[in-house]
Chains A and B, each alone.
Chain A
């Protein structure tokens, strides 16, 4: 990995996006053979310093996730607001992990409600439980240091690095 060494702070606009608008996320890791693997994400919270994000993962593939993070630390997470498709990718380094706390469950519940509300127009007759189950209960919290942020909203600008700016 070749990250640029500088102090990254998540811009306020993106903090508001993460805290109030993003409703679905997916994380990518890789193993020592550079084989990529994906993990659903149930919730997230921006750290008070605006330099870290805590991601909450369901139980599936937990051992594989932790092994990859502890081995090489590389993590990329895409967060989207559905159905507007406003999307950003955060890349950075694993800092630490911990078990789930009560506040994490409340966090996931808020995001689950946001997600179900966004899906409802597409699935007007789907039972509430079916839509809610798409966001699984969390099993693991991972603190992550943000090193780069990319625009991923579909369109010609997709892939542009926003933070640090491209000229750095």
Chain B
């Protein structure tokens, strides 16, 4: 079972947008920027579901997802392979993500636009740190 290493936690908390790639059942990839990757436990991460989007439709058709998290201070990025498990619209994970989304929206001038609809919970299949080349 793949576990998220402790050193990724501050990267997930740094407020830098992440990028997510999904794929539809007919084989078309979709790439999108997401506001937040939330550490749930050693083997799970939650992604913010803010808009009714192709990403959401894709993971319901094909549960595999790729997420890239950027570590500006560490001059690297993290590549995560994930599998969608469930969606939560209430509870402690949703509440914590909603609070963080509001903070991010306030800092980036997106108040009133960023609104958490659900916390989508994914199992971590693999995680890799990729240093940036000179």
Contacts and interface: CB of A to CB of B under 8 A. Distances in A.
B and A form one assembly: yes
- Point out which of A34, A89, A126, A158 has the most chain B C-beta atoms below 10 A from its C-beta: A34
A35 B81 CA distance: 9
B28 A76 contact: yes
A165 interface: no
A102 to B, nearest CB: 19
A30 B30 CA distance: 9
Given A40-B77, A85-B110, A137-B133, A152 B68 contact: no
Contacts of A136: 132-133
Contacts of A36: 21-23, 29-30, 64-66
A110 B134 CA distance: 16
B30 A38 contact: no
Interface residues of A, number: 44
Nearest to A35: B64
A158 B32 CA distance: 10
Interface string B19-58: 1111101111111110000000000000000111110000
B132 A28 contact: no
A166 interface: no
B52 to A, nearest CB: 8
Nearest to A154: B113
A83 B109 CA distance: 10
B100 interface: no
Contacts, number: 121
A133 interface: yes
A152 B33 contact: yes
Interface of A: 1-2, 26-30, 34-38, 40, 58-61, 72, 74-78, 80, 83, 85, 87, 89, 91, 123, 126, 130-131, 133-134, 136-137, 150, 152, 154-156, 158-159
A28 B108 contact: no
B79 interface: yes
B13 to A, nearest CB: 16
Contacts of B87: none
A43 B18 CA distance: 19
A152 B32 contact: yes
Contact of B133 (A59, A89, A91, A154): A59
B79 A38 contact: yes
A28 to B, nearest CB: 4
A89 B32 CA distance: 8
A38 B33 contact: no
